[in-house]
Amino acid sequence: MTSGDVAIGWSEARDANLANWEDRVPLHEEAYGLDAYDDPAHLSQVVRDDLAALEPFAPSVAGLDVCHLQCHIGTDTVSLARAGARVTGVDFSPAALVAAARLARRAGVEATWVESDALDARAAVEGDFDLVYTSIGAICWLADLDRWAAQIAALLRDGGLFYIRDGHPMLYALDEDASGLQLRYPYLPNGSAVSWDDASTYAGDGTVAHTRTYEWPHPLSEIVNALIAAGLRILRLDESTLLPWRFSERMVPVAGGWAWPADERRIVPCTFTVVARKAD
């Protein structure tokens, strides 16, 4: 349930979101199917798809130093390590990082875990990276994309790559409960957050105690322009009809995830992907 636009400071919103994400950790450890990582060949489907998208620019991540921003409980970070990368996972949730470290030990991979907001990552993380990686469901939790992009640029070595695949901002403007494709939430920003009060999470059936969260709308133009302003060169921008989670009950299962019914699939994109490079 949403209560619409709210004028709220970053610190207050961040603290509310942190309490919510701390509650999510044990629920997601149950819901994410972590037993699959007992197979030493297992990679998350998210990372399998992302490695394929990265292949024209980085044929392999083996031997690369990779920083995964907003890594949550580390399933994708561990998958990148299994693909041969030297990984550093960054998240603002202490409970998530404990769970991520536990998963890495279980999977038998080496990883470094750093507690930090994505907006302060450069000061918190040691070293420079060949690839900074961000994936699904991440940047809606950040108020300031210029600051976010500046962290990415500062973390990258010259010539390094940035990769993001996330929910499309057009998707996030839709009413997930409507009987058709109907706009409900803001696509364009005005400095306010959108406030939510919801005890559920996107995975599993459990509920959280801290139900209030805050998100910020970021149109595609803002995302791309923030990266350009930070000194990154956009190499590729793609939009997809496929989503790795079920945004709406009306979505139908397809190979690799979820999509709108066939007659609506070409109307609204579900994800976007950006590959960018820091100048040499």
Say how far apart CA 249 and CA 155 lie, in whole Å: 39
Per-residue pLDDT tens for 172-191? 999 999 999 999 999 999 99
H/E element, 54: helix 45-54
First-to-last CA distance in the chain?
A: 46
The pLDDT, as a whole number, for residue 187 is: 96
- Take residue 61 and report the two structure tokens written for it: 């991540």
Query: In the chain, where are the structural domains located?
Result: 2-278
The pLDDT, as a whole number, for residue 193 is: 95
The pLDDT, as a whole number, for residue 198 is: 80
CATH number assigned to the domain covering 2-278: 3.40.50.150
The pLDDT, as a whole number, for residue 1 is: 61
**Positions in the chain whose pLDDT score sits under 50:** none
Residue 238 has phi, psi (to 5 degrees) of: -130, 155
H/E element, 123: helix 121-124
The pLDDT, as a whole number, for residue 82 is: 98
- Take residue 92 and report the two structure tokens written for it: 């603002």
The pLDDT, as a whole number, for residue 240 is: 97
How many CB atoms sit inside 10 A of residue 207's CB?
A: 12
- Take residue 233 and report the two structure tokens written for it: 């060169």
The pLDDT, as a whole number, for residue 3 is: 60
The pLDDT, as a whole number, for residue 31 is: 79
Between strands 257-259 and 252-254, the pairing is antiparallel
Q: Where do we find the tokens 């000061």?
A: 123
For 28, the 3-state DSSP assignment is: helix
